């Protein structure tokens, strides 16, 4: 077991934060995911380092406010390392602090043999709404983007063209498209010169990252908890435009 409990004095009362590690074997690589759980604030944070060709990432699950945020580790001076990406909380695949803590305890901090992969393929858009103080602190001044999930690269191409058309009259959206949607800046010149009905996009996976947690719901038929690992595989997509 790797569990630690840290107590913080906050406005006259104690807030307990659990610090944990989850051991993971993926292919030939063995590594740990660092986890921080704050049941009082409704937050769980997961950090998985670079592995299997995927970037290191930290994900904060703010179950209290229904938002999940992630940011890449600063490894390659990549512009994608300078943004914070958010999406809506999904109770089917994202943990509350209590579920995350229970899964670690029942599994002995090791991934079960039964693992379900949850894949998110997405494009980025600028987010202009409000977020919780916890998410603001986590993003630490990085521009906040929202992910638009797509089922496959074909759907991504349709969404990318839609974003391109919307950016024609919005310089801010155009800048975001150039920096974070387009694989190469040069292809974005086609957006302004190509008639709308002829504009096309070709998409590919640009960056991938993973986080993990263990879900142990009660299964009355089995007479106890039924634990399975959830492998959240996130693929950021980029697209180039042609006419």
pLDDT above 90: residue 196: no
Residue 204: partners with Cβ closer than 8 Å, 6 or more residues away: 153, 183, 237, 238, 239
Contact 236, 124 (CB under 8 A): yes
Contact 134, 65 (CB under 8 A): yes
pTM confidence score: 0.88
* Residue 3's pLDDT band (cuts 50, 70, 90): low
- Beta bridge mates, 205: 237
Digit-coded pLDDT (tens) for 99-151: 999 999 999 999 999 999 999 999 999 898 999 999 999 999 999 999 999 99
* Residue 218's pLDDT band (cuts 50, 70, 90): confident
> How does DSSP classify residue 178?
I
Q: What's phi and psi for 6, nearest 5 deg?
A: -110, 130
Contact 216, 95 (CB under 8 A): no
Closest to 101 measured CA to CA, from 215, 16, 220: 215
Gap between the Cα atoms of 174 and 43, Å rounded: 34
* Residue 15's pLDDT band (cuts 50, 70, 90): low
The reported pLDDT for the residue numbered 168 is: 84
Instruction: Calculate Rg over the CA atoms of the chain.
Output: 20
pLDDT above 50: residue 12: no
Token readout for 130 is 């409000």
The reported pLDDT for the residue numbered 193 is: 87
């Amino acid at each position: 077991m790797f569990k630690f409990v840290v107590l913080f004095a906050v406005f006259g009362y104690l807030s307990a934060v659990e610090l944990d590690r989850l051991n993971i074997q993926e292919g030939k690589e063995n590594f740990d995911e660092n986890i921080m759980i704050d049941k009082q604030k409704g937050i769980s944070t997961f950090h998985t380092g670079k592995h299997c060709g995927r970037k290191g990432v930290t994900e904060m699950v703010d179950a209290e406010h229904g938002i999940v945020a992630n940011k890449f580790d600063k490894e390659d001076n990549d512009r994608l390392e300078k943004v914070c990406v958010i999406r809506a909380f999904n109770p089917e695949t994202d943990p509350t602090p209590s579920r995350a803590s229970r899964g670690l305890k029942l599994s002995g901090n090791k991934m079960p043999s039964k693992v379900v992969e949850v894949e998110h393929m997405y494009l980025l858009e600028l987010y202009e709404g409000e977020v919780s103080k916890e998410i603001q602190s986590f993003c630490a001044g990085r521009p906040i983007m929202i992910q638009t999930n797509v089922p496959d690269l074909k759907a991504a191409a349709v969404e990318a063209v839609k974003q391109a058309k919307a950016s024609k009259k919005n310089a801010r959206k155009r800048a975001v498209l150039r920096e974070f949607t387009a694989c190469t800046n040069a292809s974005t010149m086609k957006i302004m010169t190509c008639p709308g009905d002829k504009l096309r996009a070709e998409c590919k996976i640009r960056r991938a990252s993973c986080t993990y947690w263990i879900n142990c719901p009660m299964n009355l038929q089995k007479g106890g908890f039924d634990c399975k690992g959830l492998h959240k595989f996130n693929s950021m997509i980029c697209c180039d435009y042609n006419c």
